[in-house]
């Protein structure tokens, strides 16, 4: 996926020098937040890397580190609005780790049940421990002034400005969602992006049914419930490290959001079909398809294929997968032949996954939508050529934007009279829009996805 970032500052090393001995949760959070702010890296990748490299004083603090990092990132524009009231300099001029400590402190003061003295004192101590004693007085003064407030400062300005501050989303996105979905639905989407997502798994139906998996998980003491929409999904309650849960090593399930699962369900590809999965990384849909089909999974990024290979082996599906490094936006190799079905999980803005990747909301620009829509059209064109007459093409994006969803497909259908939209049968309970699958962030607890199911008639 192409991603757009603001101008980069010098990135601190992933391992910031710290005092000898195990690290506290706030020390780790400062390092993670500083690294994410200074680079184009995903928060979850940096967090996992740092947690693997550093030893926490209390292993149970891994959950606290996660809450501090994700919560601070989700509320970044709100937090910065508070800091600007007290800082005597532009936030852009403050060193990454010092600014990370300030943001971390404000998040604790206004969004966590942390005593004020701990939110201030422990954060300042953590900054000292990562080598910034010289900035401790500056950070302490600002956080102490902020701690004197009894509540979060009120928003100012018009409706858009208030929503930008209150929900920490860029103005262009707030305006766009209001225009596309109306003010009330837009507000529920903005609010949902600031909630921690569920951990959802998909049963590996090549080994057992969803009901069998649910029974086994429950017997093993895992608190969970069946997903309301996906017939193969199970929602876990505070699972901790999923790799330690029952059935992971045995390959009985794979982590995948319910909305992403619905794409595979909506595609309704017949069993034993030969399927092309274009843009296959990170591999959730490829493995879902491989439970019942022979799949050729391609991706332009060769370094992403080993992750798919590893997951397929864990799930016992490797023999059903062929992995290739191929650019799906260019003519596909003739040696690949034709396919009974094609799944295009296209590169997109990712605007439907902002609760999982909160840093993305600050990096995306409105112009990215047009750029990625053009790339999606190129992939659609090339992949449509290798589909057999009578075959199925499923196009999906993890985006809420109509330009990447229904508008994209309507444009394709107008220029390809040999294709027609063909919604699946027997799935009327799925959330749809004009015959397409569409899920939106909101009280339903889903990521935002769009999928179209097309039939090539001749």
What pLDDT score does 229 carry? Answer: 97
353: CATH: 3.40.50.150
In a domain, residue 9? The reply is no
- Write the CB contacts of 379 (distance below 8 Å, at least 6 apart in sequence): 278, 279, 328, 329, 344, 346, 347
Do 137 and 203 lie in one domain? The reply is: no
Do 366 and 228 lie in one domain? The reply is: no
> Which of the listed residues 114, 147, 180 is the one where a domain comes to its end?
147
- The catalytic residue among 69, 279, 287, 398 is 398
| pLDDT averaged per 10 residues, the chain (length 458) | 37 47 92 93 93 86 95 98 95 97 98 96 97 96 97 94 98 98 98 96 98 98 97 92 94 97 98 97 96 98 96 98 98 97 98 97 97 98 98 98 98 98 95 96 96 98
Determine the Cα–Cα distance for residues 279 and 138; give it in Å rounded to an integer: 47
225: CATH: 3.30.70.1170
Do 231 and 286 lie in one domain? The reply is: no
CA distances from 149 to 110, 162, 178, 279, 281 (A): 9, 19, 32, 49, 46
Q: Compute how many other C-beta atoms are within 10 angstroms of the C-beta atom of residue 181.
A: 17
Determine the Cα–Cα distance for residues 159 and 41; give it in Å rounded to an integer: 32
What pLDDT score does 53 carry? Answer: 85
Do 141 and 205 lie in one domain? The reply is: no
Do 278 and 227 lie in one domain? The reply is: no
What pLDDT score does 19 carry? Answer: 52
Determine the Cα–Cα distance for residues 60 and 311; give it in Å rounded to an integer: 27
In a domain, residue 5? The reply is no
Q: Which domain holds residue 143?
A: 25-147
109: CATH: 1.10.940.10
What pLDDT score does 40 carry? Answer: 83
In a domain, residue 117? The reply is yes
Do 248 and 283 lie in one domain? The reply is: no
Do 241 and 134 lie in one domain? The reply is: no
Q: Is 348 a residue of the active site? A: no
User: Cβ distance 293 to 275 under 8 Å?
Assistant: yes
User: What is 173-236 written as a DSSP string?
Assistant: HHHHHHHHH-HHHHHHHHHHTTSPPPEEEEE-TTT--HHHHHHHHHHTT--EEE-SS-TTEEEE
Do 177 and 295 lie in one domain? The reply is: no
**H helix or E strand, kind and range, residue 452:** strand 449-456
User: Cβ distance 203 to 232 under 8 Å?
Assistant: yes
In a domain, residue 436? The reply is yes
Query: Within the chain, how many helices (H) and strands (E) appear?
Result: 17, 13
Domain count, the chain: 4
What pLDDT score does 4 carry? Answer: 37
């Amino acid at each position: 996926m192409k991603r757009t970032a603001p101008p980069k500052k010098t990135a601190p090393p992933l391992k910031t020098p710290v005092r000898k001995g195990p690290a506290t949760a706030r020390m780790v959070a400062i390092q993670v937040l500083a690294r994410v702010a200074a680079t184009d890296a995903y928060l979850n990748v940096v967090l996992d890397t740092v947690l693997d490299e550093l030893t926490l004083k209390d292993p149970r603090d891994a959950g606290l580190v996660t809450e501090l990092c994700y919560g601070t990132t989700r509320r970044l524009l709100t937090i910065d609005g508070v800091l600007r009231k007290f800082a005597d300099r532009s936030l852009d001029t403050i060193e990454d780790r010092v600014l990370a400590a300030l943001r971390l402190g404000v998040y604790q003061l206004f969004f966590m049940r942390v005593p004020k003295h701990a939110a201030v004192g422990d954060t300042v101590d953590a900054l000292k421990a990562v080598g910034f004693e010289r900035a401790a007085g500056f950070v302490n003064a600002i956080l102490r002034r902020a701690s004197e407030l009894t509540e979060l400062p009120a928003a100012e300005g018009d409706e858009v400005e208030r929503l930008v501050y209150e929900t920490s989303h860029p103005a262009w996105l707030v305006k766009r969602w209001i225009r596309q979905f109306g003010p009330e639905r837009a507000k529920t989407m903005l609010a949902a992006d600031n909630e921690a997502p569920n951990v959802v798994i998909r049963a590996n139906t090549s080994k057992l049914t969803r009901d069998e998996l649910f029974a086994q998980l429950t017997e093993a003491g895992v608190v969970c419930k069946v997903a309301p929409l996906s017939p193969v999904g199970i929602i876990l309650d505070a699972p901790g490290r999923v790799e330690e849960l029952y059935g992971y090593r045995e390959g009985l399930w794979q982590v995948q959001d319910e909305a992403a699962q619905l794409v595979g369900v909506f595609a309704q590809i017949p069993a034993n079909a030969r399927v092309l999965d274009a843009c296959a990384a990170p591999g959730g849909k490829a493995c879902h398809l491989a439970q019942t089909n022979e799949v050729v999974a391609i991706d332009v990024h060769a370094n992403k294929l080993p992750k798919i290979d590893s997951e397929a082996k864990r799930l016992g599906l490797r023999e059903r997968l062929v992995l290739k490094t191929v650019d799906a936006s260019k003519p596909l190799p003739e040696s690949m032949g034709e396919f009974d079905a094609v799944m295009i999980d296209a590169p997109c803005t990712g605007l439907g996954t902002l609760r999982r990747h909160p840093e993305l909301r600050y990096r995306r620009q409105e112009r990215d939508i047009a750029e990625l829509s053009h790339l999606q059209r190129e992939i659609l064109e090339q992949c449509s050529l290798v589909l057999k007459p009578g075959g199925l093409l499923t196009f999906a994006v993890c985006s809420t934007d109509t330009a990447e969803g229904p508008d994209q497909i309507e444009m394709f259908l107008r220029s390809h009279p040999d294709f027609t939209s063909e919604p699946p049968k027997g799935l009327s309970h799925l959330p749809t829009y004009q015959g397409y699958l569409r899920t939106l962030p909101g009280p339903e607890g889903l990521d935002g996805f769009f999928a179209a199911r097309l039939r090539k008639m001749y």
